[in-house]
A and B are shown apart, each in its own frame.
Chain A
Amino acid sequence: MRRIAEKLMLTSKNEEERDERRYYGIGLILSVVLTVASFASVMTGLLPRPWIFPALVVLALSQIVVHLRIFLHIDLSRQKREDLQVLLFTLLLLGIMAFGTLWILRDLAHRMM
């Protein structure tokens, strides 16, 4: 009886490992695809010039989300500590400070012309 129970535990552990490795594998494949797409958009010249920068922003943001979700396990589930809230609050602060910096210094540069 005990042996069967141990064996059952072992198989579920093996399955769990396989699933988790697959999950990380998907993360790697997505990261590689998004990275290749970023480099290709610049190096191949397939995209019209004005589209390149927005494409780079979208690809980078998607890859960041993939990393956060798969490698760092930050998701929308509720049982965790305030990891996501801390991240979002940091992004809010950064939004204010980084956008403010860009705005003020651009304006200043413009006035110095």
Chain B
Amino acid sequence: MSTQENIHPGMNLGYEGETHVAELKVFGFWVFLMSDLVTFGLVFAIFGTMVGATAGGPGPEDVTNLRSVALQTALLLGSSFAFSWASLSMKYHETRLRTLGWLAIAATSALCFLIVEFLDFRHWLEIGAVPQRSGYLSALWALVGLHGLHVFAGLLWMAAMTGQIIVFGLTDIVKSRVTRMGLYWHFLDIVWVGIFSMVFLAGVA
């Protein structure tokens, strides 16, 4: 563990100038993430009430492809880890190239996650597992879709950070933004742990 004081959640990248502003902004972002957690938690709760409400339509066994879910889990965890590695390169080596390389791996991994998820969605449409078919499917699409949208937003953010690193270099402002992006990215991985355990694995258990 690093010996320096941690001033905010997530990796502390070591700022040259005022740490106060970075600390405040990261804390504010943490509060936003917690409100996002409430959103996800309530969609989870709605899903919980809809388990079994299949109205004779496709159920958990029909929509769950465990191989695909395992692959998505590995891709998202890999992306999350590559992002940590990008942050560590930023913190200790301060070279753009290494940081950008790990960022590219994280982004590619996340893009593959979205593609595999999209293939699953297409399969669901093919077997008639559309959101309007049953309460279970509405809740499923809402929950998995909401997470997918978040990952997509994260990809856009990563592209923006790549651009900022190239244009501005590793300044304090960029570091603080990367820290917040890291919090967001790990948070999405935590939500995915809930989804693959409670929605897919518990669905077919």
Chain A contact residues, CB within 8 Å of chain B: 13, 16-17, 19-21, 23-24, 28, 31-32, 35, 38-39, 41-43, 49, 52-53, 56-57, 59-60, 63-64, 67-68, 71-74, 77, 79-81, 83, 86-87, 89-90, 93-94, 97-99, 101-102, 105-106, 109
Given A20-B2, A31-B77, the answer on whether A98 and B193 have CB atoms closer than 8 Å is no
B45 near A101 with CB under 8 A, answer: yes
Interface residue? B49 (CB, 8 A): yes
A60 near B7 with CB under 8 A, answer: no
| B interface majority secondary structure | helix
Chain B contact residues, CB within 8 Å of chain A: 1-3, 5-12, 23, 27, 30-31, 34-35, 37-38, 41-42, 44-46, 48-49, 66, 70, 73, 77, 80-81, 84-85, 88, 91-92, 183, 186-187, 189-190, 193-194, 196-198, 201-202, 204-205
A74 near B1 with CB under 8 A, answer: no
- Chain A residues whose CB sits within 8 angstroms of the CB of B204 once the complex forms: 42
- The docked-state distance in angstroms from the alpha carbon of A99 to that of B194 is 16
Q: List 6 A-B contacts (CB under 8 A).
A: A32-B77, A35-B196, A42-B205, A43-B66, A73-B12, A102-B49
A101 near B46 with CB under 8 A, answer: yes
Partner of B193, one of A60, A72, A73, A106: A60
- Chain B residues whose CB sits within 8 angstroms of the CB of A38 once the complex forms: 196-197, 201
- Chain B residues whose CB sits within 8 angstroms of the CB of A90 once the complex forms: 34-35, 37-38
In the complex, the chain A residue whose C-beta lies closest to that of B35 is A90
In the complex, the chain B residue whose C-beta lies closest to that of A102 is B48
- The docked-state distance in angstroms from the alpha carbon of A106 to that of B81 is 39
- The docked-state distance in angstroms from the alpha carbon of A13 to that of B7 is 19
- Chain A residues whose CB sits within 8 angstroms of the CB of B190 once the complex forms: 64, 67-68
In the complex, the chain A residue whose C-beta lies closest to that of B34 is A90
A73 near B37 with CB under 8 A, answer: no
Q: How far is the CB of A64 from chain B (nearest CB, A)?
A: 5
- Chain B residues whose CB sits within 8 angstroms of the CB of A41 once the complex forms: 201, 205
- Chain B residues whose CB sits within 8 angstroms of the CB of A106 once the complex forms: 49
A105 near B80 with CB under 8 A, answer: no
Partner of A72, one of B1, B2, B186, B196: B186
- The docked-state distance in angstroms from the alpha carbon of A35 to that of B81 is 15
- Chain B residues whose CB sits within 8 angstroms of the CB of A16 once the complex forms: 2-3, 92
- The docked-state distance in angstroms from the alpha carbon of A105 to that of B3 is 49
- Chain A residues whose CB sits within 8 angstroms of the CB of B189 once the complex forms: 67, 71
Given A67-B189, A81-B23, the answer on whether A72 and B10 have CB atoms closer than 8 Å is yes
Partner of A52, one of B1, B11, B205: B205
In the complex, the chain B residue whose C-beta lies closest to that of A12 is B3
Partner of B6, one of A13, A19, A28, A80: A80
